[in-house]
Amino acid sequence: MTYIAKPRMHHPSLTKNAVGYTRRDYEGKISTLCAGCGHDSISAAIVQACWELDIAPHRVAKLSGIGCSSKTPDYFLGASHGFNTVHGRMPSVLTGAALANRTLLYLGVSGDGDSASIGLGQFAHIMRRGVQMAYIVENNGVYGLTKGQFSATADRGSLSKKGQRNADAPIDLVALALQLGATYVARGFSGDKAQLVPLIKGALRHGGAAFVDVVSPCVAFNNHAGSTRNYDHVRAHNQAVNRIDFIDLAPEINAAQAPGEVLELPQPDGGVMRLRRLHADYDPTDRIVALTQVQALQKAGEIATGLLYVEPGAADLHAALNTVPQPLNTLAEADLCPGAQALAKINGALR
């Protein structure tokens, strides 16, 4: 396959963010995905989120598995660190990288096949360990790359392009992430960028395991009538429970908003995330309520989107293990070796 490189020239008047980069600096190679694939819209949302958050591209490490979705890190953040792993194994590689160097921002990109089929065990353990990351699943209900077989997230009773009915119960990654202890759980739709960009920004700012499930139609194999992942079906059944209006560092109450309409969530970096409630009784800080309400909407045939759960002061794996702040490859022998006396003491305690 030949890649068409984008021209490197920037117009001098392009707007720069606070760290001196234009939006173009967050792009990657030209996409080779099918025209209209939802995954390309998610790449554009990631570019927008990182640019707006003033994240320097070289501070990000993007990791993925195998699939059309897992190819997308080639199409955004071309100046970031990247590792395209084996099918379903992105979480363990991300965990290792995050443990070795906690100074980078970790962005995991995966597909529903990659995370809910072959990689389900890995998905479970990265969520329960609380690895600090933004983990995005580009969920189309099929294995797009291998030509449209049902994935484990496909709804029971939905039809394949050739008319076969899916007999298996679906795995809902949102419900799983909630049960497994993820501390930021959201769902977006690739066709709603205004909702998706703030959800990704919130995940990148979160202090623990952040999971974003993005319904992302596959136009080649899963966009027909009878599929529950086609653009029309998702638009008709998308039930946003809230909207993140903005995340900023200077909280200011908007007097026009009714009491209780805006929920303010303090962030670890001193900022405040503000949620505009769309369902008055939806409480995104209560894990059990979130799980119940997401499943109730699902039973009614609706797709709950928005910030479904957040634990504002969440801790991560580094806090649990009490690790050093420096990247491990910068530690000298003196930092790593406690000395003969300390070693003798440890050995003595084990006798």
**Binding residues for ligand TPP, per CB under 6 A?**
66-69, 87, 111-114, 118, 138, 140, 142-146, 151
Residues 339 and 173: their CA atoms lie apart, in Å, by 47
Q: How far is CA 301 from CA 224, 229, 237, 288, in A?
A: 17, 12, 7, 20
The alpha carbon of residue 250 and the mean position of all alpha carbons in its chain are separated, in whole angstroms, by 25
Residue 348 parent element (H or E)? helix 340-350
Answer with the entry of ligand SF4, Mg ion, ligand TPP, none that 34 interacts with (C-beta below 5 to 8 A by kind): ligand SF4
Q: Is 34 in the site for ligand SF4 (CB under 6 A)?
A: yes
Q: Which of residues 273-332 bind ligand SF4 (CB under 6 A)?
A: none
Kindly write out the interface string for residues 89-128 of this chain, putting x where it contacts Mg ion by CB under 5 A and - elsewhere. ----------------------xxx---------------
Q: In 3-state terms, what secondary structure has residue 320?
A: helix
Q: Whose Cβ is closer to ligand TPP: residue 50's or residue 137's? A: 137
Q: Does 106 bind ligand SF4 (CB under 6 A)?
A: no
Which span sits near ligand SF4 by CB under 6 A: 16-24, 30-38, 231-239, 256-264? 30-38
Single out the residue of 184, 221, 282, 309 in contact with ligand SF4 (rule: CB under 6 A).
221
Closer CB to ligand TPP, residue 115 or residue 195? 115
114/172 with CB nearer ligand TPP: 114
Which of the stretches 29-37, 116-124, 234-242, 321-329 binds ligand SF4 when contact is defined by CB under 6 A?
29-37
Contacting residues for 239 by C-beta, under 8 A, at least 6 apart: 297, 302, 303, 304, 305
Contact between residue 293 and residue 178 where contact means Cβ atoms under 8 Å apart:
no
For Mg ion, the closer CB: 140 or 190:
140
User: Is position 42 an interface residue for ligand SF4 (rule: CB under 6 A)?
Assistant: no
Please tell me the count of residues contacting ligand SF4 according to CB under 6 A: 12
CA dihedral 291, 292, 298, 303 (to 10 degrees): -50
CA torsion through residues 62, 129, 92, 168, sign: negative
DSSP 8-state class, residue 169: P
CB of 77 to Mg ion, least distance (A): 21
Q: Which does 126 bind (CB under 5 to 8 A by kind): Mg ion, ligand SF4, ligand TPP, none?
A: none
In the region spanning residues 62 to 91, those forming contacts with ligand SF4, defined by CB under 6 A, are 68
Closest CA to 181 of 323, 315, 273, 321: 315
| Of the candidate residues 126, 196, 215, 218, the single one contacting ligand SF4 (CB under 6 A) | 218
Residues 6+ apart with CB under 8 A from 188: 45, 195, 196, 199, 200, 212, 213, 214, 215, 305
Which of Mg ion, ligand SF4, ligand TPP, none does 204 bind, CB closer than 5 to 8 A by kind? none
Using the minimum distance from each CB to ligand TPP, give the nearer residue, 109 or 131.
109
Smallest distance from the beta carbon of 208 to ligand TPP, in angstroms? 24
| Secondary structure (3-state) at 249 | coil
Q: Which of 110, 140, 195, 228 binds Mg ion (CB under 5 A)?
A: 140
Q: What residue type is assigned to position 178 of the chain? A: L
Q: Residue 66 binds what, of ligand SF4, Mg ion, ligand TPP, none (CB under 5 to 8 Å, by partner type)?
A: ligand TPP
DSSP, residue by residue, 28-40: -SPP-SPTT-HHH
Instruction: For ligand SF4, give the closer residue by CB, 189 or 282.
Output: 189
Which secondary structure element, helix H or strand E, spans residue 110, and what is its range?
Answer: strand 105-111
Half-sphere exposure of residue 11: CA atoms within 13 angstroms, side-chain side:
4
Q: Which of 38, 76, 75 is nearest to 57 (CA)?
A: 76
Among ligand SF4, Mg ion, ligand TPP, none, the one that 146 touches (CB under a kind-dependent 5 to 8 A) is: ligand TPP
Write out the residues near ligand SF4 by the rule CB under 6 A.
33-34, 37, 39, 68, 140, 144-145, 218-221
